[in-house]
Amino acid sequence: MQLLIVDDEPMIRYGLLKMTESYSPAFKEIRTAEHGLDALEKIRKSEPDIVLTDIRMPKMDGLELCRTIHDDYPHIQTVVISGYGDFDYAQKCIEWGVKHYLLKPVTRPDVHEVLDRLIHRPMRGYVSVSRYVEWIDRMEGCIWSLQTDELNRLIAEWRHMCLAADMPLIQLKELLADCIAMLTKRLQERRFTPETIPAADSADSAAEALDAFGERLRRMAQELLAARKGNFKDPMEEARAYIDSRLSQDISLEEVAGMVGLTPTYFSALFKKMTSETFVQYRINRRMEKAKELLSVPHLRISDIAPMVGYDDYPHFTKTFKKIVGLTPSEYRAGLGIR
């Protein structure tokens, strides 16, 4: 689980951080924010399971933060910590879905008791919006690039997430139908329309519904492969060829991802998995391999070779070459018997 602590007082933030770090079972991640706006920015990037927030803060106070969380992230559980113990604040907290209201000074047993209540009685029926969108992005790229092993892994990941949410069967079916509709629309935008198959409304359990959902995704990939009639180039092979043919150019990961039709995030993860190197590492290593080939040509000057492999800054080229190869370009060339 993930936790976000929000308080404008550095010492109080630090104290709450230490109290929650000592909680068992340990949180997967604990982050802090200085005020409501800072907290919302962090929530948008990675939604926590629990938010502990102060009331009185600049820029956006705790009540406004709780209202926004209640409206936009109803699955996030909130706890208000404040030195103001009046009834009005408590009423507002209840109105915005806050389950617990702690008065300062807060002790470690206070915090641990509240966490026990929240964690042992989690809210049901919600799947994180950010995780949902991220999964759709990855699944789209996976189907389009026909990565069978990754496809099965993502299906298993989604299955686990949905079962953990413990949502009612009718709600799960609606969620799965929405996933299929969104993926179909995205593939249509790529000029491929999957065959329409009736939703698995007859499923009597979450497991059955998820089984049917997984098979539908696998069938999408099979339909795409058939539509291409075997004329499919592996996106990683295409990416490597594109990079290798442009070693002198300053191409970006976004450019290469767009060329093979994948999102930058998915392309980056897939490239690392398939090549065991990041995009940057791969390009540097290929540039150095190309530089070694060029250094074996006697009539080429080293200062001319540098820009041919993408380095207009000669000292930077020399430094990078030595870091990768273990020798300077001059030493490498001398080792070949070329003066």
Q: How far apart are CA 169 and CA 181, in angstroms?
A: 18
**What mean pLDDT, rounded, does the chain reach?**
84
In the Cβ-directed half-sphere of 301, how many Cα atoms lie within 13 Å?
Answer: 4
Q: Which residue has the higher pLDDT, 328 or 174?
A: 328
Q: How confident is the model at residue 3 (pLDDT cuts 50, 70, 90)?
A: very high
pLDDT exceeds cutoff 60 at 62? yes
pLDDT exceeds cutoff 60 at 235? yes
User: Which long-range contacts does 115-120 make (Cβ < 8 Å, 24+ apart)?
Assistant: 115/20, 115/23, 115/50, 118/50, 118/77, 118/79, 119/1, 119/50
Q: What is the arithmetic mean of pLDDT over 243-250?
A: 89
pLDDT exceeds cutoff 70 at 207? yes
What is 2-120's CATH topology? Rossmann fold (3.40.50)
Highest mean pLDDT range out of 113-127, 223-237, 249-263, 318-332? 318-332
Q: What is the pLDDT of residue 149?
A: 84
- Closest by alpha carbon to 118, among 2, 249, 286, 291? 2
Q: What is the pLDDT of residue 150?
A: 86
Q: What is the arithmetic mean of pLDDT over 74-79?
A: 83
**CATH node for 235-335:** 1.10.10.60
Q: What is the pLDDT of residue 136?
A: 85
Q: What is the pLDDT of residue 273?
A: 80
Q: What is the pLDDT of residue 325?
A: 93
Q: What is the arithmetic mean of pLDDT over 33-50?
A: 89
Q: Which residue has the higher pLDDT, 132 or 170?
A: 170
In this structure, of 95-99, 104-108, 145-149, 283-287, the range with the lowest mean pLDDT score is 95-99
Q: What is the pLDDT of residue 230?
A: 61
Percent residues over pLDDT 70 in the chain? 89
3-state secondary structure of 77: strand
Q: What is the arithmetic mean of pLDDT over 126-142?
A: 76
Percent residues over pLDDT 90 in the chain? 22
pLDDT, tens digit (0-9, with 9 covering 90-100), for 292-320: 999 998 888 999 999 999 999 999 999 99
pLDDT, tens digit (0-9, with 9 covering 90-100), for 257-298: 888 777 788 788 878 888 889 999 999 999 999 999 999 988
Rg (CA), the chain: 27
Q: What is the pLDDT of residue 6?
A: 92
Report whether 239 contacts 256 (CB < 8 A). yes
Report whether 42 contacts 51 (CB < 8 A). no
Q: How confident is the model at residue 203 (pLDDT cuts 50, 70, 90)?
A: confident
Highest mean pLDDT range out of 25-29, 115-119, 125-129? 25-29
Q: What is the pLDDT of residue 91?
A: 61
Q: How far is CA 94 from CA 100, 118, 227, in A?
A: 8, 15, 55
Q: Which residue has the higher pLDDT, 196 or 335?
A: 335
DSSP characters for 301-312? -HHHHHHHTT-S
pLDDT exceeds cutoff 60 at 164? yes
3-state secondary structure of 182: helix
Which helix (DSSP H) or strand (DSSP E) does residue 37 occupy?
A: helix 36-45
